[in-house]
Amino acid sequence: MEAYRNEDIVSTLLRYGFIELFLRMDETLLNEIWSYPGNRDKLYELITDHDAPEEARFLSSEILFLKEKNFPPDNLKNELSQLYASILGQGGSVNANIWGLPGFLNGGTGQHVVALGQAIVKDFSSLLQNTGSVYYEGSREAMQGNAYKYRIKDLAAFFLATVLNIPYTVYKEPESRDEEIEGLKQNLNKEWGRN
């Protein structure tokens, strides 16, 4: 098996995963990874290492969003857009909670997507056809998210509308949301040549 350029950091990230790194109340592990000599540079390198597992690249970027002031630099926004769209397109990693609820920018990962700005237009537009389900865990957020039967395309549409400052209503019924998404697609096609 070909060794990854950043094998040690990749192994560490994959061993602990999103839950241990970001969803526990104890940030000791996250701080240890961040403060280990050379890891900051390795985390940056990992984002663009297409030989590394996508999940490790995603976890690397999430650490940098939390720990690095003014992250991401402009030259990484397109790369991160592709990465985050791919992760969401596969179901969103751990659960939908990290992305937030459509209509509310309350998930840290969703906030990171919006921070990428207009760089997300191409990649997240391609998710507007993705009817895959997303699942929320917990109490209130899970009740609403799962009752509304949110899909990948609902999150993608919300992020696009937020970034582009396009009015977008989040309806309870998937059929009504589909109509809203069609309107968003028309707007994207008109303004960006995307649908």
CA angle 69, 75, 80 (to 5 degrees): 80
Predicted confidence (pLDDT) at residue 3 exceeds the cutoff of 50: no
Instruction: Tally Cβ neighbours within 10 Å of residue 12.
Output: 19
Contact criterion met (CB below 8 Å) for 100 and 106: yes
- Give tens-digit pLDDT for 119-154: 999 999 999 999 999 999 887 778 888 889 999 999
Share of the chain above pLDDT 70, in %: 94
Give helix 7-18 / helix 39-47 axis angle, nearest 10°: 80
Residues β-bridged to residue 133 = 151
pTM of this structure = 0.92
- Give tens-digit pLDDT for 64-116: 999 999 999 999 999 999 999 999 999 877 788 899 999 998 889 999 999 99
CA angle 118, 113, 134 (to 5 degrees): 125
